[in-house]
Amino acid sequence: MNARTEFQVIVGADGKPAFVVIPYAQFRALQSGLARGTVPNEVVNLAYEKGLSPMAAWREHQDLTQAEVASRIGITQAAYAQMERVKRPRKATLEKVAAAMALNVEQLRW
């Protein structure tokens, strides 16, 4: 099988799987019970109660700073802050931010 796996199985002394190591973003999605492409109530509440953009609401939900997301994208914090304020971000922008936060583009478009 040539399918790419994004997890690692650690076998115990008995030869049976004992642990699975997965990327942190996938763990967070599993931990919060998210189905791929959904937006949790906490993110929606952050957006409406604080008047945040979907991008900013997701960033706060994931306990990330603007500087951390900017670093993942390869831009400055100031440039990322501008991205968060845009009413209708470009598709390319949404794709970069979604990848940096392990989201689908659709999760940033609401």
CATH of domain 8-108: 1.10.260.40
pLDDT digits (tens, 9 = 90+) for 23-75: 887 777 666 655 667 899 999 999 999 999 999 999 999 999 999 999 999 99
Residue in the block written with tokens 């004992």: 18
Instruction: Kindly report the pTM of this predicted structure.
Output: 0.68
Name the residue ranges covered by the structural domains of the chain.
8-108
Residue 1 — very low, low, confident or very high, per pLDDT cuts 50/70/90? very low
